C-alpha cells in the first residue's frame, strides 16, 4: 500500500546524517491504523532505492507534524544523529518557526503561555490558563506579518509567524483558538467558523539546528503553496532572504 505513493517528495538537504524534506500536506508523518501512506515509510524507500541499501533502512523520526500540516521536516539517518537532535529538542536549541493564517487580528506581537491536556482517546487537546491535573506548559511567541479584510467572507485573516518554544501536540492550533483566533481551516479547534473541506493553514516554515557531527548551525526553510488562503498574502516578498530574521 505504501509503495503506491507516487508524489515526489521535495528533498531540501541530505547527507550521511540528515535528511531534510518538505512534508506534503495531509500526509502522515509516520504510519497509523489507517494504513495510509506516511512520510517515514516513503523516505525509507527513497533511501533504500537511492543508495541501494540491503535490509531495513534506519531513519529516525525526531519530531512530527500533524497530518494536515506541510513544510520543513528533519529526519536522522543514523541513531547517533537521532540522539543528538533529540537532545537539541530537549534543550531548546532545535528551533522551529511556523506560518499560520488565523481568523481575526491578534495584536502585532505576542507570547502565549498556557497549560495543555491531551485526551489521547479522542486526540483532542484542552487549554487552560492555570495548571491543573496532568497538564504540560505550552509557550509560543508570534508576530503578525499582515492582516487582510477578505471581501467575500467579510472576515479578517492574519498571516502570523510563530516561534514555537515548546512542541506540544496541536499546540499552535489550540492556543490560538483559545485566545479567539482559530486557524483558518481547522476543523477540530475552529469548527464554528471553518467549513468542512477547508485546508488547515499551518506550515512549518523553517528549522534551525546544529549539525550532529559538524557542529555547525544550519537553517532549512520552504514557503507554503501558492493557493488559498496563502495566496492572499505577500508571503514571498515579506519573507524573502529572511533566514536571519526568522531564526
CATH for 150: 3.30.2350.10
The reported pLDDT for the residue numbered 32 is 84
The reported pLDDT for the residue numbered 239 is 67
Domain with 74 in it? 2-246
Rounded CA gap, 69 and 143, in Å?
Answer: 19
Rounded CA gap, 173 and 83, in Å?
Answer: 28
pLDDT lower than 70: segments of the chain:
1-6, 151-154, 237-247
Helix, strand, coil share (%) of the chain residues, nearest 5 = 20, 35, 45
Rounded CA gap, 8 and 5, in Å?
Answer: 9
Region label for 164, one of left (φ > 0), alpha (ψ between -120 and 50) or beta (otherwise) = beta
The reported pLDDT for the residue numbered 206 is 95
Rounded CA gap, 151 and 132, in Å?
Answer: 42
The reported pLDDT for the residue numbered 194 is 93
Number of domains in the chain: 1
Rounded CA gap, 108 and 158, in Å?
Answer: 10
The reported pLDDT for the residue numbered 5 is 58
Interior angle at CA 240, CA 150 and CA 90, nearest 5: 95
The reported pLDDT for the residue numbered 3 is 43
Beta strand pairing call for 70-76 and 202-210: parallel
pTM of the model: 0.91
The C-alpha cell of 82 is what? 537521532
The reported pLDDT for the residue numbered 150 is 72
Indicate the SS3 state at residue 35. coil
Length of the chain (residues): 247
Rounded CA gap, 81 and 13, in Å?
Answer: 15
Residues in a beta bridge with 206: 97, 221
Amino acid at each position: 500500500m505504501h509503495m503506491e505513493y507516487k508524489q515526489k517528495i521535495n528533498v531540501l538537504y541530505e547527507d550521511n546524517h540528515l535528511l531534510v524534506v518538505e512534508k506534503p500536506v495531509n500526509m502522515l508523518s509516520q504510519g497509523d491504523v489507517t494504513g495510509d501512506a506516511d512520510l517515514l515509510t516513503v523516505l525509507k524507500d527513497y533511501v533504500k532505492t537511492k543508495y541501494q541499501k540491503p535490509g531495513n533502512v534506519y531513519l529516525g523520526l525526531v519530531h512530527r507534524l500533524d497530518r494536515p500540516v506541510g513544510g520543513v521536516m528533519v529526519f536522522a539517518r543514523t541513531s547517533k544523529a537521532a540522539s543528538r537532535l533529540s537532545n537539541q529538542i530537549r534543550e531548546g536549541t532545535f528551533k522551529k518557526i511556523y506560518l499560520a493564517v488565523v481568523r481575526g487580528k491578534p495584536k502585532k506581537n505576542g507570547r502565549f503561555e498556557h497549560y495543555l491536556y491531551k485526551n489521547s482517546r479522542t486526540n483532542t487537546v484542552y487549554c487552560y490558563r492555570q495548571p491543573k491535573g496532568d497538564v504540560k506548559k505550552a509557550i509560543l511567541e508570534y508576530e503578525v506579518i499582515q492582516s487582510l479584510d477578505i471581501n467575500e467572507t467579510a472576515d479578517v485573516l492574519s498571516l502570523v509567524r510563530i516561534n514555537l518554544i515548546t512542541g506540544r501536540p496541536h499546540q499552535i492550533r489550540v492556543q490560538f483558538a483559545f485566545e479567539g483566533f482559530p486557524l483558518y481551516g481547522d476543523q477540530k479547534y475552529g469548527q464554528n467558523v471553518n467549513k468542512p473541506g477547508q485546508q488547515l493553514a499551518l506550515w512549518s516554515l523553517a528549522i534551525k539546528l546544529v549539525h550532529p557531527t559538524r557542529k555547525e548551525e544550519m537553517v532549512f526553510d520552504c514557503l507554503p503553496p501558492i493557493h488559498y488562503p496563502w495566496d492572499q498574502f505577500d508571503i514571498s516578498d515579506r519573507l524573502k532572504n529572511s533566514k536571519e530574521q526568522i531564526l
